[in-house]
Amino acid sequence: MTLAGFIAYALALCVAAAVPGPGVVALVARALSSGFRAAMAFSAGLILGDLTFLSAAVFGLALIAETLGEVFVVVRLCAGLYLAYLAVRLWRAAGQTDRIEGGPADRPLSSFIAGITITLANPKTIVFYLAIVPTIVDLRTVTAGDFGILVGLTALVLAGVMTPYAALAARARESLRKPVFRARLNRSAAAIMAGAAIWTVARRA
């Protein structure tokens, strides 16, 4: 892989991770209920789940990307439509008055396991690694060294994105519970998600 390829992957992952989805919402809820330590353990689980999908994309989809390249055009369009659907849902949710609530306090291990579970069942994560990543990274050219760099980039980007969420939630619990803050967050996330949907559909495979 080239330096440009690594940068493109890191930027795409950063945008995908920063847009609030099931993982971020669950992370915020964990920080609200159990504090920063549990939230960071939860983040570690999220990262491991992402690395699982990255491994599947690199090793499991390389042959598919080589022999069924045209299929990814259709998959990319479906991914764009899914992102647009998420944007609409987030925008509509901005008008709701429900609050982000957390559950009972958890041990770090249970938070870690919860993070893995959330990621492995997160449609947004699945779409990113199994549909969008093959359009950004040429899976046919990924070497063992490239994969190691991708693993490091993934962990670094996700930690950099998730840590501020956890810290903010842990320090400003009451502010994050306010419906007005939730509405603004959802509207901003919807705008970012819509932009990502347009970019996904418009980008050449």
Domain with 10, as residue range(s), is 3-202
Work out the pLDDT band at 44, boundaries 50, 70, 90: very high
Task: Give the lowest-confidence range in 1-15, 26-40, 101-115, 136-150.
Answer: 101-115
The two tokens of residue 182 are 């939730």
What's the structural domain count of the chain? 1
Residue 129: closest CA among 4, 2, 17, 20: 17
pLDDT digits (tens, 9 = 90+) for 100-137: 444 444 577 888 988 888 787 777 787 888 778 888 88
Residue 157's pLDDT is 94
